[in-house]
C-alpha cells in the first residue's frame, strides 16, 4: 500500500523519496474537436488561471480538424486578467512590461489523422517527463492539479489521475454480451478497488507516448480497434501501462500501481456526456461498448501470449489523500450518477 504524503517525506522512507522524479514542471495536452468555445475556456484555465504557478511549463492542443488550420494561440487565448491597484502606478507599469515568458508556452499539434489514437502521438519538444492529458471539457482547479503533479512525481511510472474505474467479471444480473464489465465510480466505491485511471484527466510519463505506437508494446490490432469503434483509447493506454508495471504490484510499496487523486473538478461532459446520459443497459449503450472493448483487447493480448494486464488495487491505499473507506469520494459529485453497468 502507498504511504501518506507525510509518511513519504519522513526519514524512515528515505529510500523511497530518493526515487522522486526530478521534473519540476509538466506539459498539459488538451484533446479537442470542433469546440472553439470550449477550447477557449480550457486554454484560459490552464494558461491564465493555473499557469506556471501550478508548475505548467507547456500547453499543447491536439488539433484533428484536418480540413481547417489551427488558430494562432494569441487569437484564441483570452487575455490574462490583471489584479492591479489603481493607485500603484509602478506596479501597473511593471505588469505591462511582463512578457509572455511568464506564461506557459502554447502550441497546436496538427495530427495527420482524425483518430483517438492521435492524442497519444509522441511530442518532439516536450521539456518535461510529465504529461497531463485532459479533455477540453474538464477543468481541475489549480490546487488540485498541483497536488496531482506532486503525486505523479512520487509515482512517475504510474497512471495518476482523477477518474478511477474498474474492469471485472460480470455479475450476470442483467444480460451482457461482454464477459468483462467496465464499471464507473459507484462500483469502484462499493468494492473499494479499481484498476483503471481514465486518461481524460491523468498524469503519465512521456515514454508511454512512444510505447503506445510501438507494435511490440501496444499491438497494432488495438489501434485498429480504437479507430474502427472510435472508443477505448484510454483503456488501451491503461492496458499498456499495467503490463509494463505489473511486477510492482508484488512490492510492499507499490509505487508503479495506478493512483487516484481526489480533486475539485468541473467536468462539463459528465451530465451531458456519454458516460452518464448514454450509459444505458443495452448493447448499443456506451457502457456496454466499453465492456465489449475490454473483451476484444483481452483477446488481442492473448493472441500475443500476454496475460490480462490490469490488476486491482485498493481504493483507500492507492489514493494520494488517505481516508477511511466511507470518506472516499469522487472528484466530481455527478460521478455518483454514472450507473450504467452496475448490475451486469
**What is residue 180's predicted lDDT score, i.e. its pLDDT?**
93
Q: Give tens-digit pLDDT for 117-146.
A: 999 999 999 999 999 999 999 999 999 999
Averaged pLDDT for residues 30-46: 95
Output the pTM of the full model: 0.87
Give every CB contact of residue 179 below 8 A, 6+ residues apart in sequence. 169, 170, 295
Strand partners, 138: 267
Spatial separation of the C-alpha atoms in residues 206 and 290, rounded to whole Å: 25
**Has residue 256 got a pLDDT over 50?**
yes
Spatial separation of the C-alpha atoms in residues 106 and 268, rounded to whole Å: 23
Angle subtended by helix axes 220-229 and 233-245, to nearest 10? 160
**What is residue 87's predicted lDDT score, i.e. its pLDDT?**
43
The three cell numbers locating residue 245: 508495471
Spatial separation of the C-alpha atoms in residues 161 and 233, rounded to whole Å: 16
**Has residue 75 got a pLDDT over 50?**
yes
Give every CB contact of residue 219 below 8 A, 6+ residues apart in sequence. 300, 301, 303, 304
Q: Work out the widest C-alpha separation in the chain, in whole angstroms.
A: 71
Averaged pLDDT for residues 11-25: 71
Spatial separation of the C-alpha atoms in residues 57 and 106, rounded to whole Å: 9
Q: How far is CA 73 from CA 18, 27, 43, in A?
A: 38, 16, 9
**Has residue 176 got a pLDDT over 80?**
no
Q: Give tens-digit pLDDT for 319-344.
A: 887 666 667 888 988 888 876 655 54
**What is residue 281's predicted lDDT score, i.e. its pLDDT?**
41
Q: For the ranges 41-55, 263-277, 280-294, which has the lowest average pLDDT?
A: 263-277
**What is residue 272's predicted lDDT score, i.e. its pLDDT?**
55
Averaged pLDDT for residues 76-101: 54
**What is residue 11's predicted lDDT score, i.e. its pLDDT?**
62
Averaged pLDDT for residues 285-297: 90
Averaged pLDDT for residues 86-114: 67
52 and 99 in contact (C-beta within 8 Å)? no
Q: Give tens-digit pLDDT for 198-225.
A: 999 999 999 999 999 999 999 999 999 9
Amino acid at each position: 500500500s502507498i504511504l501518506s504524503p507525510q509518511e513519504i517525506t519522513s526519514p524512515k522512507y528515505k529510500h523511497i523519496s530518493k526515487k522522486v522524479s526530478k521534473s519540476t514542471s509538466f506539459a498539459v495536452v488538451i484533446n479537442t474537436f470542433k469546440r472553439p468555445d470550449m477550447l477557449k475556456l480550457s486554454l484560459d484555465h490552464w494558461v491564465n488561471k493555473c499557469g506556471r504557478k501550478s508548475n505548467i511549463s507547456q500547453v499543447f492542443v491536439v488539433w484533428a480538424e484536418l480540413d481547417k488550420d489551427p488558430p494562432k494561440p494569441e487569437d484564441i487565448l483570452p487575455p490574462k486578467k490583471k489584479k492591479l491597484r489603481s493607485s500603484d502606478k509602478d506596479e501597473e507599469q511593471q505588469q505591462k512590461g511582463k512578457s509572455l515568458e511568464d506564461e506557459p508556452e502554447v502550441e497546436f499539434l496538427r495530427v495527420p489523422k482524425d483518430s483517438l489514437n492521435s492524442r497519444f502521438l509522441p511530442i518532439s519538444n516536450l521539456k518535461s517527463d510529465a504529461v497531463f492529458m485532459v479533455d477540453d471539457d474538464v477543468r481541475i482547479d489549480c490546487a488540485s492539479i498541483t497536488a496531482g503533479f506532486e503525486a505523479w512525481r512520487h509515482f512517475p511510472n504510474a497512471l495518476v489521475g482523477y477518474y478511477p474505474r474498474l474492469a471485472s467479471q460480470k455479475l450476470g444480473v442483467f444480460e451482457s454480451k461482454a464477459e468483462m464489465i467496465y464499471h464507473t465510480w459507484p462500483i469502484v466505491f462499493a468494492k473499494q478497488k479499481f484498476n483503471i485511471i481514465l486518461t481524460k484527466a491523468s498524469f503519465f510519463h512521456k515514454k508511454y507516448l512512444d510505447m503506445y505506437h510501438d507494435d511490440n508494446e501496444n499491438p497494432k490490432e488495438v489501434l485498429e480497434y480504437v479507430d474502427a469503434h472510435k472508443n477505448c483509447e484510454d483503456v488501451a493506454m491503461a492496458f499498456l501501462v499495467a503490463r509494463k508495471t505489473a511486477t510492482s504490484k508484488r512490492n510492499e510499496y507499490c509505487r508503479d500501481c495506478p493512483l487516484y487523486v481526489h480533486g475539485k473538478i468541473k467536468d462539463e461532459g459528465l451530465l451531458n456526456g456519454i458516460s452518464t446520459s448514454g450509459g444505458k443497459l443495452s448493447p448499443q449503450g456506451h457502457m456496454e461498448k466499453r465492456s465489449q472493448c475490454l473483451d476484444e483487447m483481452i483477446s488481442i493480448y492473448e493472441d500475443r501470449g500476454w496475460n490480462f494486464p490490469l490488476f486491482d488495487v485498493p481504493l483507500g491505499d492507492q489514493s494520494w489523500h488517505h481516508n477511511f473507506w466511507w470518506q472516499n469520494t469522487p472528484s466530481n459529485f455527478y460521478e455518483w450518477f454514472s450507473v450504467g453497468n452496475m448490475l451486469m
